[in-house]
Structure 1
Amino acid sequence: MSVKERKERDRSARERLILATARELAEQQGWDAVTTRRLAERIEYSQPVLYSHFRGKREIIGAVALEGAAELAAAVRAATAGATAPRERVAALARAYLDFAERNPAVYDAMFQLDGGLAFAQEDTPEPLKDAFAALLESLGEVAGDGVEPGVFTEVFWASLHGLATLSRAGRLPPEYAETRVAVLVDRLAVL
Structure 2
Amino acid sequence: MSVQERKQRERADRERLIVATARELAERQGWDAVTTRRLAERIEYSQPVLYSHFRGKREIIGAVALEGAAELAAALRSATRAEDGPRARVTALARAYLDFAARNPAVYDAMFRLDGGLAFAREDTPAPLKDAFAAFLETLGEVAGEGVHPALFTEVFWAALHGLATLTREGRLPPADAERRTELVVDRLAAF
Interval of TM-score (by shorter of Structure 1 and Structure 2): over 0.9
* Aligned counterpart, 1:68: 68
Tell me, in whole angstroms, the C-alpha distance in 1 between the residues paired with 2:146 and 2:164. 26
2:85 corresponds to 1:81: no
* Aligned counterpart, 2:20: 20
* Aligned counterpart, 2:181: 181
Tell me, in whole angstroms, the C-alpha distance in 2 between the residues paired with 1:47 and 1:26. 18
Q: State the secondary structure of the residue aligned to 2:53.
A: coil
Sequence identity (%): 80
- Write out aligned runs for 1:153-168 (5 A): 153-168=153-168
Alignment length (residue pairs): 192
Tell me, in whole angstroms, the C-alpha distance in 1 between the residues paired with 2:18 and 2:164. 31
Tell me, in whole angstroms, the C-alpha distance in 2 between the residues paired with 1:77 and 1:70. 11
Aligned-residue Cα RMSD (Å) equals 0.4
Which one-letter code corresponds to 1:21 in the other structure? T
- Write out aligned runs for 1:92-111 (5 A): 92-111=92-111
* Alpha-carbon distance, 1:30 to partner: 0.5
- Write out aligned runs for 1:135-146 (5 A): 135-146=135-146
Please list the CA deviations of residues 18-48 of structure 1 after superposition, one character each: whole Å capped at 9, or x if unmatched: 0000000000110011000000000000000
Question: Could you list the runs of 5+ residues in structure 1 that have no partner in the other structure?
Answer: none
Q: State the secondary structure of the residue aligned to 1:72.
A: helix
* Aligned counterpart, 1:124: 124
Tell me, in whole angstroms, the C-alpha distance in 2 between the residues paired with 1:12 and 1:118. 20
* Aligned counterpart, 2:152: 152
* Alpha-carbon distance, 1:98 to partner: 0.2
Question: Could you list the runs of 5+ residues in structure 2 that have no partner in the other structure?
Answer: none
